[in-house]
Amino acid sequence: MTKISTLDNGLRVVTQNMPGLETIAMGVWNNVGGRDEQENVNGVAHFLEHMAFKGTKTKTSKQIAEAIENVGGDINAYTSTETTAYHVRLIAEDLQVGVDILTDILQNSIFSKEELEVERGVILQEIGRTMDSPDSKLFDKFQETAFPDQPIGRSLLGPKNIIKNISRDEIKNFMTSNYNPKKMIVSAAGKINHEEFVDRIIKSCTNLPKGTVENRFKSNYKGGEYREEKDLEQIHLIASFEGTDFYHEDYYSLLVYNSILGEGMSSKLFQEIREKRGLVYTISSFMFPFTDTGLFGVYCGTGENQIKELLPVLCDQLNDSPNSISLEEINKGKAQLKAGLLMSRERAANRCRKAAYQLLYHNRIIESDEIIKKIDNVTKETIQRIAKKTLSTNMTVSSIGPIGKLETIEKIQSRLNY
């Protein structure tokens, strides 16, 4: 059962009791991410997330980790384009440990200069690892190409020159200016009593930041091309388009189309391009929805000598798939989405995260029955409508590897019938 309370400071608390569990997943989700940064501090949201674990007024970084791990739990955090989250998993009887740690780092982090320099080095290593990973770098560059000169397109890690020089005050100011209880969700799922949990949060959250800055600007999808010649065995390629936001009437239709086109071993792309022709090892389609835009695309890796054959086949699939989708494929796509939804509800961490996202972006909890109904309402006509609309937007083509034989974006887009 899902229960929601709104505290006097605007902080919303949502819980889902899951009978039969002895554990709890809980966390704090903030409606603040990479797209809320100014260009001169690109990477600060992620840097702040790292620094939150590096010491408070009463605990060192080691003591923070030990507090959770001494009771067998785990603690982590992540930064995305629109969200920052801090979360733990614990045995239910140790819930207060998790509450104390998460609320402490959000209210009492000291941003030690010594720890900051250590973490600066860690993040620079993380950037280096990303740059050495063709697919990781490719996804970074693809979003930057889709949204040029916009916060939503910038790397979450930030460029090395900024990370090398970002200051303690800039990190602190980002937190105090952007974090606000009205933009936060505390979510918990598992063996949880709502009223007791709310009482714990009220007692612990007495000094949350009260930032009022709003840096989020409306996105403007452009598209374009990123090409990087690199001595690799494969060309890593993304061909993408503007997708839908969370709220679009055809959001679920595009989800079903995505499932049919490129999710799983029975998908159209996998069957035609890998199983039938052997042109790739990996190929899949993806959706990245945001609050005011989205991205829809295909990722694959292929050899230098296969790229000339791959592109016409890929474009043929994009041309043919909206009209060639069968009722059997639609039912399969729907079944995959519904099964994935219901299976995810068996894990407390998934339910905890999804409830937080729904409150942040929809201002309500969307029950599984409602989502299943929306999936069931998808038709061949709605799939065709959103697929053709999506595939008619400007392309974003990003590639890394031995790209000498790779066609230009103009040539690739000319192969499409939209």
Once rounded to an integer, what is the mean pLDDT over residues 165-173?
97
Is 215 a residue whose pLDDT tops 90?
no
Does residue 392 lie within any of the structural domains?
A: yes
Range of the domain at 372: 224-414
Which of 173, 204, 235 is at the close of a domain? 204
**How are strands ordered across the β-sheet holding 224-229?**
224-229, 396-401, 234-242, 294-303, 282-289
Does residue 291 lie within any of the structural domains?
A: yes
pLDDT value of position 212? 86
> Which residues are marked as active site?
49
Does residue 290 lie within any of the structural domains?
A: yes
Give yes or no for a contact between 37 and 151, defined as CB atoms under 8 angstroms apart: yes
pLDDT value of position 48? 98
C-beta contacts of 63-67 below 8 A and 24+ residues apart: 64/101, 64/104, 64/105, 67/97, 67/100, 67/101
Does residue 336 lie within any of the structural domains?
A: yes
Instruction: Determine the 3-state secondary structure of 16 from DSSP.
Output: strand
**How are strands ordered across the β-sheet holding 12-17?**
2-6, 12-17, 184-190, 23-30, 84-91, 74-79
Distance CA 373, CA 284 (A): 26
The CATH number of the domain holding residue 381 is 3.30.830.10
Residues 196 and 232 in one domain: no
Give the number of domains in the chain. Answer: 2
pLDDT value of position 214? 82
Residues 246 and 165 in one domain: no
Write out the DSSP string of 174-233.
HHHHH--GGGEEEEEEES--HHHHHHHHHHH-SS---------PPP----EEEEEE---S
Residues 239 and 185 in one domain: no
Is 156 a residue whose pLDDT tops 90?
yes
Does residue 46 lie within any of the structural domains?
A: yes
Which of 144, 169, 204 is at the close of a domain? 204
Other Cβ atoms less than 10 A from the Cβ of 169: the count is 9
Once rounded to an integer, what is the mean pLDDT over residues 166-179?
96
Residues 185 and 144 in one domain: yes
Does residue 275 lie within any of the structural domains?
A: yes
Is 1 a residue whose pLDDT tops 90?
no
Residues 149 and 271 in one domain: no
Q: What does pTM read for this prediction?
A: 0.95
- The residue whose two tokens read 């009978």 is 19
Is 315 a residue whose pLDDT tops 90?
yes
**pLDDT by residue (tens digit) across 127-144?**
999 999 999 999 999 999
pLDDT value of position 259? 98
Does residue 133 lie within any of the structural domains?
A: yes
Does residue 216 lie within any of the structural domains?
A: no
**pLDDT by residue (tens digit) across 54-69?**
999 999 999 999 999 9
